[in-house]
Amino acid sequence: MSLSDEELERYARHIVLPQVGGVGQRKLNAASIAVIGAGGIGSAVIPALAGAGVARLTIIDSDVVELANLHRQPLFAEADTGESKAALAAAFVKRLNRFVEVDAKRERVGTDNAKMLLSGHDLVIDGSDNFATRLAVSDACVALAIPLLSAAAVQFQGQVGLFRAQPCYRCFVGDAFDADDCDNCSELGVLGALPATVGSFAALLAINMIAGVGREQAGQLHLFDGEALSWRVIRIPADPGCRACGSG
């Protein structure tokens, strides 16, 4: 696959990077990525991936825009309240880069539909707002052998981790959160600029991974402290008894 003159110009600042080059850019131009959640994390991830020229983006979100979203979700404006986030995010992608094939799914991901929605993608990025969705997504990614990039931001804390087969996200959080009533930044609060920081980091990791830049990141969790303004990295151990990826 060769790039047209227009694509060469569009991606020139990528192609000139020795770590990316034409080879890395063509990998990006061939990648199919599902993004779950067009909220605060998605508002950073989706424009970055669209700008980078991924081949196909599937944007999955069942919510509509609310006024309380606008302090952290710059994909949307006041006039968008009540409208589908997935549809608005897809329209944004189309405006930004017509080379990206985008598909909006106004659905909530659960154990019943996760495999069907995520099958066929090279990478899944989860920026959803609850553990039940995150665990359903993780189990589906393990079953489908799709790498999962999980990103979360709440209060002043952010975390980004890449999961590839083992350890999986369920190894990290355990089984206690399958119920649908655990977390939510509507109750806990979130600083407006935090999801952009965390989402941009997740996008960087995703783009590096697809373009073949840097070291393997799977099994590591990057933690951001928005009060101390610092990142640290921990290694996630595999749980041998994990009911998704282990022998349990």
Residues at the contact surface with Zn ion, assessed by CB under 5 A: 168, 170-171, 242, 244-245
Could you tell me the smallest distance in angstroms from the CB atom of residue 139 to Zn ion?
Answer: 9
Q: Are 121 and 143 in contact (CB under 8 A)?
A: no
Residue 165 or residue 223: which is nearer to Zn ion going by CB?
165
Ramachandran region of residue 82, left (φ > 0), alpha (ψ -120 to 50) or beta? left
Q: How far is CA 196 from the centre of its chain?
A: 12
Residue 85 or residue 170: which is nearer to Zn ion going by CB?
170
Strands 230-235 and 220-225: antiparallel
Could you tell me the smallest distance in angstroms from the CB atom of residue 163 to Zn ion?
Answer: 8
Residue 72 or residue 164: which is nearer to Zn ion going by CB?
164
Q: Are 32 and 8 in contact (CB under 8 A)?
A: no
Residue 86 or residue 242: which is nearer to Zn ion going by CB?
242
**Helix, coil or strand: residue 54:** coil
Residue 160 or residue 211: which is nearer to Zn ion going by CB?
160
Could you tell me the smallest distance in angstroms from the CB atom of residue 152 to Zn ion?
Answer: 17
Could you tell me the smallest distance in angstroms from the CB atom of residue 234 to Zn ion?
Answer: 16
Distance, in Å, from the CA atom of 128 to the CA atom of 182, rounded to the nearest integer, reads: 13
CB nearest Zn ion: which residue?
242
**Helix, coil or strand: residue 18:** coil
Distance, in Å, from the CA atom of 60 to the CA atom of 187, rounded to the nearest integer, reads: 23
Could you tell me the smallest distance in angstroms from the CB atom of residue 153 to Zn ion?
Answer: 23
